[in-house]
Structure 1
Amino acid sequence: MKKILSREPGWRREGQMPDYRFSLANERTFLAWIRTAMAILAGAIAIDQLTPQIAPQPVRVVLCLVLSVIGALLAIEAYRRWALQEQAMRNNRELPHAWLLVAMTGVIAAAAVVFAVLILLGR
């Protein structure tokens, strides 16, 4: 297993090595996506553990599970996005469209509305 995790992907041997500043900027973006995924997971844990009065238990569990799945998917997508950006830079291609930005905006906006309703109904 260790050999699989430490092996460099084949695409890293293709094209030209991009300017290290662009690679480091891409890595910082990856880390920002990972921090966002961790924040969503932390929010799910906080809702479950710190706000039992926000909603009935089945509703709270579903909300926490949904947020946890979103956090996990976001972490996976962060790596995929990083790799696609690196490949594009190595092969002097246009950077891929970030469809996830629109999707995450919608998900976070929907979550904000749901939690606002739950907070107002809980008073």
Structure 2
Amino acid sequence: MPATRTVAIIDDDRHLRESIQDLLETAGLSSLLFPSADAFLHERGYEDVNCILSDVKMPGTSGIELIDILGEMGGCPPVLIMTSYADKQTKATALNKGAVAFLPKPLDSDEVLRCLETAVRGT
């Protein structure tokens, strides 16, 4: 099992992706960046990561739709959802679909790292 854990960061905001990548690097995690769930699926990003951190609302496939797609594939890494749309319905839907965490934006760095640590520990 590799010592370095890799997280897929999926968000249509390039600056946010890069900021999260910087945060993860300081915590000893590597990351792969994807501008959309469709790019992540097309590039088969799920094969190379221990965990997925995905936005909900993006052009094309949403983060919640991504959970459904990955669930149908089976054996995919845990998914954490981040969103600016942190209403109760979105949170309930994401968690009911199988997200292991729901993180409202703006992100709390400590909370992101705690949730990722818990998620990658199980992979």
Question: Structure 2 length as normaliser, TM-score?
Answer: 0.28
Answer 1 or 2: which has greater strand percent: 2
Using CA pairs under 8 Å that are at least 6 residues apart, name the structure with larger relative contact order, 1 or 2.
1
Question: Structure 1 length as normaliser, TM-score?
Answer: 0.28
